[in-house]
């Protein structure tokens, strides 16, 4: 669902001629090119993986908590050695929040969600809100200087 949301946003922007795109999509076959360009370019092999099995009911309960508890700051990072893709630092992660429940910790750096680049700070909270509709998901982060993958198996 998140993949479809991301793809539809970028296809609409490309077709409408948004100024952030240097060309207009001429036909539907270009939508596959756009989707391919949104994939995170670096492989996951050899990275530590932390797997969570999460009940969708518990996840929905966490999502229904007060917005003040589930508020998170997503700060774009600039510069660095390898910033060919956008990176976001996650701050103000509260222990009662859905983000903490998903294994996200304060000061983690977000790289991708479900293998796609997160190119806006608004997309990550949206991704988390759509998780109850998914069966599997993954988030790629940097924690304390080490890259890792958080995998989720969502069960009823």
pLDDT tens digits, one per residue of 45-100:
889 999 999 999 999 999 999 889 999 999 998 876 666 778 899 999 999 999 99
CATH architecture for segment(s) 43-155: Roll (2.30)
User: Could you read off the pLDDT of 4-28 as tens digits, one per residue?
Assistant: 655 555 544 444 444 444 444 444 5
> Per-residue pLDDT for 44 more than 90?
no
At 91 the pLDDT is: 94
pTM summary value: 0.73
Name which of 65, 110, 66, 63 is nearest 86 in CA terms.
110
All structural domains of the chain with their residue ranges:
1-38, 43-155
Tokens of 111: 């790289």
Tokens of 123: 């997309």
DSSP run (H or E) holding 33: helix 29-38
At 79 the pLDDT is: 73
At 142 the pLDDT is: 93
């Amino acid at each position: 669902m998140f993949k479809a949301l991301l793809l539809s946003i970028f296809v609409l922007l490309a077709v409408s001629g948004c100024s952030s795109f240097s060309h207009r999509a001429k036909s539907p076959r270009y939508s596959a090119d756009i989707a391919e360009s949104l994939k995170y370019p670096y492989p996951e092999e050899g990275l530590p993986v932390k797997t969570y099995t999460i009940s969708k009911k518990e996840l929905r309960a966490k999502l229904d908590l007060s917005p003040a508890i589930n508020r998170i700051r997503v700060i774009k990072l600039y510069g660095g050695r390898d910033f060919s893709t956008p990176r976001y630092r996650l701050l103000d992660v509260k222990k009662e929040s859905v983000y903490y429940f998903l294994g996200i910790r304060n000061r983690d750096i977000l790289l991708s969600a479900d293998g796609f680049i997160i190119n806006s700070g608004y997309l990550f909270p949206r991704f988390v809100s759509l998780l109850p509709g998914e069966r599997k998901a993954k988030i790629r982060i940097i924690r304390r200087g080490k890259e890792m993958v958080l995998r989720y198996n969502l069960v009823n």
